Structure 1
Amino acid sequence: MSIAPDRDLLPVIDLRAPSSPCSTGRAALTCRYRCGDACAHEAPNTTTNETFADVMESALSRRSVLRAGAVVGAVAVVGTGLSASPAAAAVGERRRPPGGHHGHDPRRPKGLRFSPVAPNLQDAVVTPTGYDQQVVISWGDPLFKGVPAFDVHRQSADRQRRQFGFNNDFVGLLPLAGSTRLMVVNHEYTSETLMFPGYSAANPTREQVETAWAAHGLSVVAVKEDRRTGALRPVVGHRLNRRFHTTSEFELTGPVAGHPLVRTKADPRGRTALGTLNNCSGGLTPWGTWLTAEENINQYFANAATVTDPVQAKRLARYGIAGTATERKWERFDDRFDIAKEPNEANRFGWIVEIDPYDPTSTPRKRTALGRFKHEAAQPRITDDGHVAVYMGDDERFDYFYKFVSAGTVRKGTSASARRHNADLLDEGTLYVARFTGDSPAIEIDGAGTLPADGRFDGAGEWIKLVSGRRSFVPGMTAEEVLLFTRLAADAVGATKMDRPEDVEPSPRTGAVYIALTNNSNRGATGAAPADEANPRTSNKNGHVIELVEHRADSGATRFAWNILLLCGDPADPKTYFGGYPSRDVSPISCPDNLAFDRYGNLWISTDGNALGSHDGLFGLALEGPERGATRQFLTVPTGAETCGPVIERDRVLVAVQHPGEKDGATATAPASTWPDGPGRVPRPSVVAVWQRNGRSIGM
């Protein structure tokens, strides 16, 4: 049943609840289980890098930056064959004043022609009028024949290894024969309090721990399309269905494979890691593989406080690995989660992992050439000269934005020889980190979000080379050390501290790159980095989105121009900004997280931790033409949930509804949500499909 927006549900936009440690709408329970209360602790980046203003004064004059911006406005953007694309023009040219948009048709942008959903607190997936929805698959649903139906009172590790995992995040759809598709899904983390009736956080049982191990990881599941609607049905027992979990084998590849710092008692060769943890977003490659990102891996490893070696202690601290016991107490049941017993195990996590979903016998590979940090996502594009560029954010307050460029070039096509050729492209290349420079005087960046005199937050930037193959460009660090401790390498070269760079998506139409910066309530705090033009608000609770255009369309691009596309928040707040579009005609948006594109070139944004008090949602945003900046809410998710993994197809939208019911005080026996199964049932993370009831394409 479609649930339409109720515009009378909320008399005002501001629905603020008591703030959690991260000062957004996220529950403290989510902070505990998803990231180990990261925002309640000092940010791991305590370096005194050059500030934004220092870089501007010492490295580039304002005149040179302005020249750089003008150049970008004239260059052809990656892979389009177009000069002065809309995205490039937006960076390099002055925009007309917002008053020029008066009298626009709010249904004008193709793909965004729906009635926006109002902010709300409904315990449901709320979609526009005229749209239907369906739960495709939920936590505990069987993937293989002979697996019992989900029963919260009878969950076990054996069952969970053959069922859909918990807390689905990234979703991707790949082609198969006919009406069958292959769906790939990340399972980021487990919320044991909501999974196990009678769970004791102080004393979990072995069965509960092993079930949680099995609920982490990845799912590959074939789905059948209903051609009359947008519905998808899992094909239980399909030959390509797979589950990867905390005890599955993964291969370490690239420069770090076999290094002494990834060797353990169980794996003295340092080439086979067990499991993948905290897989957040990801990406799909042009050659048909799936990239998944290991993010908040620090919270799984105990007893870092016992480390006395200063070098190891510094490395652990920079990755947020601290303290004694962990929240989940896994170290009681497996020594590899105890730093005191297995000091190198943590080094085997925090990578980008590549999976071949079409080969049910393949072993996933942790691609060490892409660096180790809290990866939110990894989205590749092909440069004009055929190399692979992968853009990545490190999701931590004051951490960095990266790019990897492969040494080899892509062979086009899906033949066996092409797939073999492309299989190892991500094992050798060059890793860069970004430095952003603004074109406004520092005095004009007031920390409140007031636009500078030129009417935009924008400027230029450079990609700083960290490592290329086995060659390090960071003094005092080997190539392997740069890749193992990439944060420390980026600290050393003075990269720009960002406000939690999460998902990164290159536009398939223009090649411009979009970066979701979710929030950073510590920006400008005592002892912390001040506001700068790329992160212009102190106590940044609502986040922003940056648009970046590289100066060249090939693998040699080392300079870029950028502008802030969105300063998120309540449109009634004059310190918000929607690409120059009138704020009275947009939906309120807070804490941008995952990004996707539709066939019309619109950017779609899912949110995490709405600081305005409404439930999280999915938004479409026009990037081209007079409607550039028009932002419309397409759906909201249930109580306590986060909107993840959006897939925007011609006739279907997919979202991963993560951690429904994850509210402070909630348990498996006293749930805060009844979605999706109704009263008397526990809430279950699920993938949801949405389509237009009249058979038309999404947003048309």
Structure 2
Amino acid sequence: MKPLELFVAHDPAGSRARVTCQYKCGNACFHEVPNTSSNTYFGDIVAGISRRRLLQGSAAAVVAVGAASALAACGDSTEVGTTASTDGTGTGFTPVAPNTQDALVVPEGYEQGVVIRWGDPLFADAPEFDFFRQTPAAQAKQFGYNNDFAGLLPIEGQPGKYLLVVNHEYTTEQFMFAGYKPEAITREQVDIAMAAHGLTVVEVHGEPGTGRLAPAFGKYNRRITATTEFRLTGPAAGSPLVKTSADPTGTKVLGTVNNCSGGVTPWGTVLSGEENFNAYFVGAAADPVSAARLKRYGIGESDAPHYWEKFDKRFDIAAEPNESHRFGWVVELDPWDPASTPVKHTALGRFKHEAANIHVTADGTVVAYCGDDERFDYMYKFVSSRKIEAGTGAASRRHNMTILDAGTLYVAKLTGDHPDRIDGSGTVPSDKGFTGTGQWIPILRTAADGRGESLVDGMTAEEVAVFTRLAGDKVGATKMDRPEDFEANPKTGKVYVALTNNDKRGTEGKAAVDEANPRNKNKNGQVLELTDEHAGTAFTWTLLLVCGDPAVADTYFAGYDKTKVSPISCPDNLAFDPYGNLWISTDGNALDANDGLFAVVLDGDRRGETKQFLSVPVGAETCGPVITEDRVVVCVQHPGETDDASVERPASHWPDGGTTQPRPAVVAVWKSGGGRIGV
């Protein structure tokens, strides 16, 4: 089946354009919700998991070790549940007002500069970008399209020099090719789009005295695309579920697609989440069991707008029924070795991964937190049985890149403290806000040799790995409002989750509200704060923010005075500054303004204070924030992507101005004359 036309009924929760929904997520907001499970009672968890095993784990607080840099798990240790009060240090800027300008707007006293944009050359032999004469060979050596996650890794012994690692979530072909006609797509256009996906590694150099960054033709520069070879590891590797005619071993996958957010590991690699991979596959399953599995992932129903199956049968379900099983994983890339083969970690489960972010406990246990970005889907964590190995050399990285291949995968069940006071209105249930407890339910254990053990009755280990959503359904996980990015605070060890929105919450036939998801037809989202045992199975939680217009009753800013905060809608990516403040980028602002980047104070009398630091241009989304002492880096994704725009009638001319076509780009922001951000 082919994509829905843009004039069909469309009701996104936020302000995303119809064309963005079509290309970015296969019109997920138009389709029926894939999760049709009831998941109503914790006692109905599969019999194979004993109550004793569910409740195991020390109740004592775990001492957290923050990843103080990209290359080492070190830094000040703070007991989980205590605070490392910042008193708002790092948020001392004048907030940007909500606006609809076709510009990246920053606070007074700050400057900005484009770091790199779609099509900029990465290698000395790469051609300069020519919008009207783009080729697959050129794109393979140029910066990709629709940058989302950004990681900035210092190059050891070279002050002011970094590796910038960026992923490229998706392509919007109608804004890439003049006169584009989907029904007449060419092989060259498909090859260009495939080459514009994946990840980029590029060396960047800082300008002394400012926060400006400029790309260089460094020895680490690399492009990962939709045809780069990847290696499958973990319990699904070699399984019949992932074998194809081109790969009878079930261990080698060509490419990565729809890479959304990600994270920099303490051992210096980069994790990237394969999110809306379903939008690349078309066709029907051969049998009812396979059809049900595809439907749970939203695969093959319609809306595969890229048409790759015309020239590559991997993306045709009828021709290659297992190919879609090879996407939806957490990807790990070693940016320090341009010849290395990136990995897809199947021990972390397969779903619409927004990201995977790492927390390291005091004893060296590595915990990876993941969200499944779909309405009514789940939150996960993976606790490794291997310990982190100190050091920044190649040998340490080789060991640490196996950490995510052995351990236990869990899915979250949340319970509210005030179930009788949650009515869908968003009314705060107590003077302490929205609060509750939770359990991490184990669903898959992977041994050191890569073999898996299913902890879910009626499913094999390979099935739990490949059809993780079905395992979450079986064990009664809590349906959430699009859990996207997870980040652990390096100062306190508390874990934060961006829940972007869910306009189907509490509607007819859909899951009712609960304390963690307290509003009907939730168009603005919320931010969840977990105090987790990390390596254990218990946690407590509170809602830090219930987002939206602060003048409206159904919003909440941790009890802070709502007359003193910036409006915020649809939280997406999270990051921390050096002082322990939370920074939030947004996607799909439902408040009639452009998306932006916001700083939130977490401790002290100003807890909940939310201030907008920047806004992005018309049609754009704010992604991948990196907050350092002297600069802020953001990815500006899909500028000018509005429903009435085209190559002939662009809605934006950002970043180059004049009559140019809009181009996704990475931007650095710094304080005029130098100095610390927000200080």
Smaller-chain TM-score range?
over 0.9
User: Closer, same or farther in 2 for the Cα pair 1:51/1:130, shift >3 Å?
Assistant: farther
Q: Are the aligned partners of 2:411 and 2:440 in contact in 1 as well (CA < 8 Å)?
A: yes
**Aligned residue for 2:24?**
34
Q: 1:20 to 1:77 in 2, by over 3 A?
A: farther
The corresponding residue for 1:3 is none
* 1:693–1:19 distance in 2 versus 1, CA, 3 Å: farther
In 2, Cα distance between equivalents of 1:34 and 1:77: 39
**Paired position in structure 2 for 1:269:** 249
Letter in 2 for 1:488: L
Structure 2 letter corresponding to 1:513: V
Offset at 1:418?
Answer: 2.1
Distance 1:52 1:535 in 2: 17
Scaled by the length of structure 2, the TM-score of the pair is: 0.92
Quote the Cα distance in structure 1 between the aligned partners of 2:23 and 2:195. Answer: 16
- Paired residue secondary structure (1:377): strand
- Taking a change above 3 Å as real, the CA distance of residues 274 and 210 of structure 1, as seen in their structure-2 partners, is same
In structure 2, distance between residues paired with 1:370 and 1:248: 21
Q: How does 1:541-552 map to 2 (within 5 A)?
A: 541-550=523-532, 552=533
SS of residue matched to 2:463? helix
Q: Please, which moves more after superposition, 169-178 or 515-524? A: 169-178
What is the CA deviation profile of residues 251-278 of structure 1, one whole-angstrom value per residue up to 9, with x for unaligned ones?
1111111111111111111111000000
Q: 1:399: which partner in 2?
A: 377
Give per-residue Cα distances to partners, 1:142-169, cap 9 Å, x unaligned: 0011222111100111100000000000
Distance 1:232 1:258, change over 3 A: same
* CA displacement, residues 549-594 of structure 1 (integer Å, 9 cap, x when unaligned): 01x35x2x10000000000000101211001100000000000000
Structure 1 match to 2:195: 214
Over 3 Å counting, the alpha-carbon distance change for 1:42 and 1:126 in structure 2 is same
Deviation at 1:78, TM superposition (A): 2.5
Residues 273-672 of structure 1: matches in 2 within 5 Å? 273-304=253-284, 307-323=285-301, 326-440=304-418, 442-469=419-446, 470-550=452-532, 552=533, 555=535, 557-672=536-651
Equivalence for 1:50:
40
Q: Unpaired segments of 5 or more residues in structure 2?
A: 1-7, 46-55, 66-75, 447-451
Query: Which residue among 85, 93, 104 is the counterpart of 1:125?
Result: 104
Partner Cα separation in structure 1 for residue 385 and residue 312 of structure 2: 38
- Matching residue within 239, 248, 253 for 1:259: 239
SS in 2 for 1:437: strand
Structure 1 residues 530 and 49: CA distance shift in structure 2, 3 A: same
Structure 1 match to 2:144: 165
- Aligned-residue offset at 1:453: 3.6
How far off its partner does 1:200 sit? 0.3
Residues 174, 288 of structure 1: 8 Å contact kept: yes
> What is the CA-CA distance between 1:414 and the residue it aligns to?
1.3
What CA deviation, in whole Å up to 9, does each residue of 1:2-26 have, x standing for no partner?
Answer: xxxxxxxxxxxxxxxx995213111
Q: Which whole-Å CA distance do the structure 1 matches of 2:416 and 2:222 have between them?
A: 47
Residue 615 (structure 1) shift: 0.1
* Partners of 1:19 and 1:129 in 2: CA distance: 41
3-state SS of paired residue (2:137): helix
How many equivalent residue pairs? Answer: 645
Matches within 5 A, 1:128-277: 128-176=107-155, 177-236=158-217, 238-277=218-257
| Contact kept? 2:62, 2:361, Cα under 8 Å | no
Deviation at 1:130, TM superposition (A): 0.4
Residues 44 and 476 in structure 2, CA contact (< 8 A), matched pair in contact too: no
| Cα offset, 1:189, TM superposition | 0.1
**How far has the Cα of 1:383 moved from its partner?**
1.6
For 2:161 and 2:677, locate their aligned partners in 1 and report how far apart those are by CA, in whole Å.
21
- Whether the aligned pair in 2 keeps the contact of 1:190 and 1:215 (CA below 8 Å) is yes
In the TM superposition, residue 686 of structure 1 has moved relative to its aligned partner by: 0.1
How far, CA to CA, are the matches of 2:530 and 2:260 in structure 1?
A: 23
Structure 1 contact 616–643 (Cα < 8 Å) conserved = yes
CA contact (8 A) 1:52 1:437 kept: no
**Residues 166 and 190 of structure 1 are in contact (CA less than 8 Å); yes or no, is this contact kept in structure 2?**
yes
Runs of 5+ consecutive residues of structure 1 not aligned to the other structure = 1-17, 56-67, 90-106
User: What is the DSSP-based 3-state SS (H/G/I as helix, E as strand, rest coil) of the residue aligned with 1:343?
Assistant: coil
- The two structures, once aligned, show a CA RMSD in angstroms of 2.1
CA-to-aligned-CA distance 1:624-654 (integer Å, 9 cap, x gap): 1111111000000000000000000000000
Q: 1:19 to 1:695 in 2, by over 3 A?
A: farther
**Cα 1:656/1:650, change in 2 over 3 Å:** same
Maintained 8 Å contact 1:88/1:549? no
The secondary structure found in structure 1 opposite 2:12 is coil
Shift of 1:420: 2.8
CA distance in 2, matches of 1:669, 1:52: 55
C-alpha distance after superposition, 1:476-534 (max 9, x if no partner): 11111101000000000000000000000000001100000000000001110000001
CA contact (8 A) 1:169 1:186 kept: yes
1:312 counterpart letter in structure 2: S
In structure 2, how many angstroms separate the alpha carbons of the residues matched to 1:111 and 1:313?
51
Distance 1:249 1:602 in 2: 38
Separation of aligned partners in 2, 1:137 and 1:346: 32
Residue 83 of structure 1 deviates from its aligned partner by 4.7
- Counterpart of 2:4 in structure 1 is none
Instruction: Please report the TM-score for the alignment, with normalisation by the length of structure 1.
Output: 0.90
SS in 1 for 2:599: strand
Aligned-residue identity in percent: 59
Alignment partner, residue 3 of structure 2: none
Contact 1:87 1:549 in 2 (8 A): no
Q: Give the whole-Å Cα distance in 1 for the aligned partners of 2:474 and 2:135.
A: 46
1: CA distance, partners of 2:63 / 2:101: 42
Q: Specify whether residues 88 and 487 from structure 1 end up closer, same or farther in structure 2 by C-alpha distance, changes over 3 A only.
A: farther
Equivalent position amino acid for 1:605 in 2: I
What SS class does the counterpart of residue 378 from structure 1 fall into? Answer: strand
Counterpart secondary structure, 2:649: coil
Match of 1:10 in 2: none
Contact 1:251 1:272 in 2 (8 A): yes
Instruction: Classify 1:622/1:53 alpha carbon distance in 2 versus 1 (closer, same or farther; 3 Å).
Output: farther
Match of 1:94 in 2: none
Is 2:630–2:675's contact at 8 Å kept on the other side of the alignment? Answer: yes
For the 8 Å contact 1:254–1:367, the answer to whether it is kept is: yes
Output the CA distance in 1 between the equivalents of 2:302 and 2:528: 38
AA of the residue aligned to 1:480: E
Residues 42-51 or 207-216, more deviating: 42-51
- 1:621–1:631 Cα contact (<8 Å) kept: yes
One-letter identity of the residue aligned with 1:569 = G
CA drift of 1:76 comes to 5.5
**Aligned-pair distance for 1:456?**
1.2
Secondary structure, aligned partner of 1:78: strand
Q: Which amino acid aligns with 1:215?
A: A
